Copies of this chain bind each other. A is one copy, B any other.
Amino acid sequence: MKSSEKSYHHGDLRRSLLKVAFEMLGEEAGWQFTMRELARRAGVTHAAPYKHFESKADLLAELAVEGFVRLTAALVATQHDGHASPREGFVTMCKAYVAFGGNNINLYRLMWSGDARASGNPRVLAHANAAFAVLLDRITRGQHSGWLASRNPAGQAVACWTQLHGLTLLSADGLLESLTANAIDVAIAELLDGLQAPRS
């Protein structure tokens, strides 16, 4: 934060590496950047990152954790707006999920890449579950307040999560635009119809 741009890198190389990694994820090139490129951009030798991360998978796990934190925040941020209806509020959250993926597609793919989980870092799974918990909480409250059909909330949350995950990925792959207009809105509407329908 103190900005020592152009210094020789002292204690905060770890933080610098994460920052540069997020910058690279923001570019076009996909999430499979190389450790050597990361080191190059951070201005250090390719061996230096290994003093701060055990392996590439370890670095990816850190990025994935931060990704889930940001996704969770994006979902939570939709909770207290004044929505026209409970359903509208929920739809807003769903759109925020898909928008997060669309705006951070390299990070989103990294979060689910398997390479991140392969690190063995349990925080990846824990933070994925934390994001899921936001969906589950909203659904549980929706059932209590009566606008969602009452059945196992976890089942509804899983249906919601899988729908949003698939929608995010296929949308980012550019496969939906040619199939129908407003694919995201339509798919979310079908999801909500299902969650509201009685008699599972």
Residues of A in contact with B (beta carbons under 8 Å apart): 30, 112, 114, 117, 125, 128, 132, 152, 154-159, 161-167, 169-171, 173, 175-176, 179-180, 182-183, 186-187, 189-197, 199-200
Contacts and interface: CB of A to CB of B under 8 A. Distances in A.
Copies in the complex: 2
Nearest to A186: B155
B114 A190 contact: no
Given A152-B180, A194-B190, A195-B190, A170 B165 contact: yes
Nearest to A185: B155
A117 B194 CA distance: 33
B187 A193 contact: no
Instruction: Identify the interface centre among A132, A182, A197, A199: most chain B CB within 10 Å of its CB.
Output: A197
Nearest to A164: B166
Consensus secondary structure, chain A interface: helix
Contact of A187 (B155, B169, B192): B155
Contact of A176 (B158, B173, B175): B158
Contact of A114 (B128, B132, B173, B176): B173
6 contacts: A154-B180, A155-B190, A161-B170, A163-B187, A165-B170, A194-B194
B183 A155 contact: yes
B132 A186 contact: no
A66 to B, nearest CB: 19
A189 B200 CA distance: 6
A170 B194 CA distance: 20
